[in-house]
Structure 1
Amino acid sequence: MYVINHICRLLLGALFIFSGFVKSIDPLGTSYKLFDYFKAGGAAIPENIALILAVALCAAELFIGLALFLNIKVKFVSWLSLAFMVFFTIITLVLALTDKVADCGCFGDAFKLTNWQTFCKNLVILPFAIMVFWQRKKYKEEVSIITSWVAFSMILIAPVILNLYCLRHLPLINYRPYKIGQNIWSGMQTPPNAPADVYDIKLVYQKNGVKKEFSEQNYPWQDTTWTFVEQKTTLVKKGYVAPIHDFSILSPTDGDITEKILRKQGLVYLFIAPNLTDANIENAKKANEIYSICKRRNIPFICISSTTGKRVELFRSKTGAQYPIYASDETALKTAMRTNPGLMMLQDGTITGIWSGSDIPDPVFFKGNTTGKQLLALEDAKDQLLVSVLIGVVLLFGFSLLILRRN
């Protein structure tokens, strides 16, 4: 029983860690999903409230996972894990039955599950949470009280710091289609032989006050005694959906210029602000000098936002912006850029750089061989991320081995 107890604890902890981590590195994306949840339930909440709830949810889930995995305060944490699993099992069942939200977002953008898949996943995990809760008094801490409380404090604070860091900057790992190396135009295309949507079409006709359903193959098109009433169309199987399917750039004078911008050879800069009204003004001002440099070098620099009309002019008056501002869908822009505003660099239509508003490089970066500088910066960032991950893994498993050794 001892071995089974700890296997359940470790598996449940690992699942909470993974689920909490992939959401914690993108808390803004989680807030969008929570906003959809409340809206679908008829209780829309402000976006800032959704963001606070998202950070709390992501941090709590990661904290629970770390505490379970490290065998820290399991008596207390087992209550939280069981409450989480019961609550979200019920929620996912409701979503599966109503289908009001297409994706639960339980694994962020890392893995997409249908509502029924999510509900079944929760049914599989729930027994582990019940087992850990049932056996909670048998998980003994063999470390000192000071070590236990220090570890507890660290795993309580660290997830919050991770969420806040990714809010200010960008997700540590980008699971969305707008990532370094992605050609946006190619990501919008549908392959020639891609499967199309499959529909079940029923044609309803009426005769002598009686309604009857027919298929497209056997409907009574030659019998004039039947009167057409309605057509019922049901999606049976979803066809291929391009990774990027809702991105567009609309000019007030030239109309849709998406292809023109995305297929342009050479460098192009997209200054993305999902909503200019809520954009960080100080970060937005950083674009002015960069635009001047690009203009002198004949490099396209444009702003894309869902904001139009007088609010654009108000934004220009606050920031002194001279660059062209084009329209796009707000949801698409929020998917492409997790800060408001942020900067994206394209080379021949392929994303080679993406920065949050806080991390936009100094103007001098955009002089000279910008592409070469960015390649070096990406290598440095990759090395730093690898070192950080390795340190985190070593600390986590080192602490786990210490506890197991004492047991």
Structure 2
Amino acid sequence: MNKLQRNLVLISRLIVGLVFIYSGFVKGVDPLGSTYKFTDYFNAFHISWATGLAFGLGILLSTAEFVIGVAILLNLKPKLGTLGALLLMAVFTPLTFILALTNPVHDCGCFGDALILTNWQTFWKNIVIDIPIVYLFFIRKRLANQLSGYEQWAGMTFASAFILLLSWYSVKHLPLLDFRPYKIGTYIPDGMAFPENAPADEWKSIFIYSKDGKEQEFGLNNLPDSTWSFVDSRHILVKKGYEPPIHDFTITNRDGEDFTDQLLSSSGYNVVAVYYNLEKADLKNQDQINQWADYCTANGMPFYALTASTDVAIEKFKNQSGPGFEFYATDEITLKTIIRANPGVLIIKDGTIVDKWNANDLPKIEELHPNLMHQSLLKYKKQADKYYIYTLILAGSLFIAIYLLIRMKWKPLPQNND
């Protein structure tokens, strides 16, 4: 392998490896987001019976992408790594072409919420990535590695364990990285605002009229005379305008009255419990949530619950769990975006998200500070100390990975490592 070929191999491995690692990581850090995206696709294609597979498929896809990316980047088991990448792209390249043509779900979800791409952007991204993948696959037998087979399997096992543990942590608690528009510190009204001179949606209106038993379509500028009878109309989105990051945050009480402005304009602390679906909620920590509600009420802090469930489900829940708070209605997708937990709890002050927890991590009442802002700052100080240690561990792992990458040589293999 000459110098040009070695450089092509290195560039190809860097491109494919980093893209796969990034894609697998952002899915692995938010496995529920991947679950919701698979569910959206199943519903769009009218195979809702498969929604039970969504969580497992999300974990499988993030793990496969991450491990394949590590394998290609570090040249671990090159035959297996390149084959895995080729098989994934053989499935997803034609699939994303179909999605681009039909557009059943506007956001492909290939990079989770970290990087939003349209279906056409995703398709062309896949076409570009296919080129180095095919190249690496055809020269896979010439990719030498100084590590033994056991060492290569150990590296891939470590990558698998890392991404699986990351996914487990994110489901059990909350994602370590929050790429959504409702992250802690977000001032919600800012996320809902339209910039000055922001482009609006462009629509095309088609009107259907009939005359003498014959129907005909007309545009807004060439409507027929009064001898025609109106039948129907339809409106087609020609060009999507600006859409603010938070565009669907609406809260109503059970009488249908809007409650959004009252919550966002409140000057004090507002504690909000989120149950996107009461029938699917994990209620093992419900007693603690009820204690929080009692504590907040006793200390003059409003406590609300948001759900997309029906009134029947709400009444059933109240009879079973006896919560001392009222429920308000919010769109289910919005609730899933606000917090990756069912249930979860967040604190809003002056329209800003101060903190949020999975119900599994909700502080005990006796641990609460009267100033909830102080409570949150103390929490993040402790987390910062832990993340410092994690950063050192990851930095050490990255150093080892770079060392192994530099140590490897690309030459004909003396023996089959696979």
TM-score, L = length of structure 1: 0.92
* % same residue: 38
Aligned to 2:394: 392
Deviations 1:159-181 (A, max 9, x none): 11111111111111111111111
Distance 1:5 1:403 in 2: 12
SS of equivalent to 1:303:
strand
Aligned to 1:62: 66
Task: Check whether the contact 1:290–1:366 (CA below 8 A) recurs between aligned residues.
Answer: no
Structure 1 residue 326 corresponds to structure 2 residue 328:
yes
Task: Check whether the contact 2:202–2:241 (CA below 8 A) recurs between aligned residues.
Answer: yes
Deviations 1:18-42 (A, max 9, x none): 1111111111011111111122222
Correspondence 1:347-366 to 2 at 5 A: 347-366=349-368
Task: Check whether the contact 1:185–1:263 (CA below 8 A) recurs between aligned residues.
Answer: no
The worse-fitting range, judged by mean Cα deviation, of 149-158 and 116-125 is 149-158
Distance 2:263 2:50 in 1: 34
Task: Check whether the contact 2:19–2:69 (CA below 8 A) recurs between aligned residues.
Answer: yes
Aligned to 2:135: 131
CA 1:406–1:229: 2 relative to 1, 3 Å = closer
SS of equivalent to 2:114:
coil
Correspondence 1:226-237 to 2 at 5 A: 231-237=233-239
CA 1:91–1:211: 2 relative to 1, 3 Å = same
Distance 1:50 1:69 in 2: 28
Task: Check whether the contact 1:274–1:340 (CA below 8 A) recurs between aligned residues.
Answer: yes
Aligned to 1:52: 56
Distance 1:327 1:214 in 2: 40
Structure 1 residue 20 corresponds to structure 2 residue 24:
yes
Unaligned runs of 5+ in 2: 410-418
Task: Check whether the contact 1:69–1:400 (CA below 8 A) recurs between aligned residues.
Answer: no
Aligned-pair distance for 1:142? 0.6
Task: Check whether the contact 1:271–1:344 (CA below 8 A) recurs between aligned residues.
Answer: yes
Distance 2:228 2:317 in 1: 61
Deviations 1:216-266 (A, max 9, x none): 334455xx5666665453211112222222222222257221211221111
Distance 2:212 2:319 in 1: 69
Aligned to 2:105: 101
CA 1:75–1:250: 2 relative to 1, 3 Å = same
SS of equivalent to 2:278:
coil
SS of equivalent to 1:35:
helix
Aligned to 1:187: 191
Whichever residue aligns with residue 105 of structure 2, its letter is V
Whichever residue aligns with residue 123 of structure 1, its letter is I
CA 1:308–1:90: 2 relative to 1, 3 Å = same
Deviations 1:268-318 (A, max 9, x none): 101111111111111222212111211111101111112233432332344
CA 1:293–1:88: 2 relative to 1, 3 Å = same
Task: Check whether the contact 1:293–1:367 (CA below 8 A) recurs between aligned residues.
Answer: no
Distance 1:220 1:309 in 2: 47
SS of equivalent to 2:284:
helix
Distance 1:296 1:203 in 2: 58
Correspondence 1:268-287 to 2 at 5 A: 268-287=270-289
Aligned to 2:249: 247
SS of equivalent to 1:255:
coil
* Structure showing greater relative contact order (alpha-carbon pairs closer than 8 Å, 6 or more residues apart): 2
Aligned-pair distance for 1:91? 0.6
Unaligned runs of 5+ in 1: none
**Structure 1 segments of 4 or more deviating over 6 A?**
206-212
Aligned-pair distance for 1:209? 8.3
CA 1:48–1:396: 2 relative to 1, 3 Å = farther
TM-score, L = length of structure 2: 0.89
Aligned to 1:404: 406
Correspondence 1:154-173 to 2 at 5 A: 154-173=158-177
Aligned residues: 405
Whichever residue aligns with residue 131 of structure 1, its letter is Y
Aligned to 1:265: 267
CA 1:326–1:3: 2 relative to 1, 3 Å = same
Aligned-pair distance for 1:333? 0.8
SS of equivalent to 1:299:
coil
Aligned to 1:291: 293
Whichever residue aligns with residue 159 of structure 1, its letter is I
SS of equivalent to 1:240:
coil
Whichever residue aligns with residue 116 of structure 1, its letter is W
SS of equivalent to 1:109:
coil
Distance 2:45 2:219 in 1: 35
Distance 2:183 2:217 in 1: 48
Distance 2:277 2:214 in 1: 53
Distance 2:100 2:175 in 1: 29
2:154 to 133, 150, 162: 150
Distance 2:33 2:324 in 1: 30
Task: Check whether the contact 1:293–1:366 (CA below 8 A) recurs between aligned residues.
Answer: no
CA 1:146–1:343: 2 relative to 1, 3 Å = same
CA 1:267–1:74: 2 relative to 1, 3 Å = same
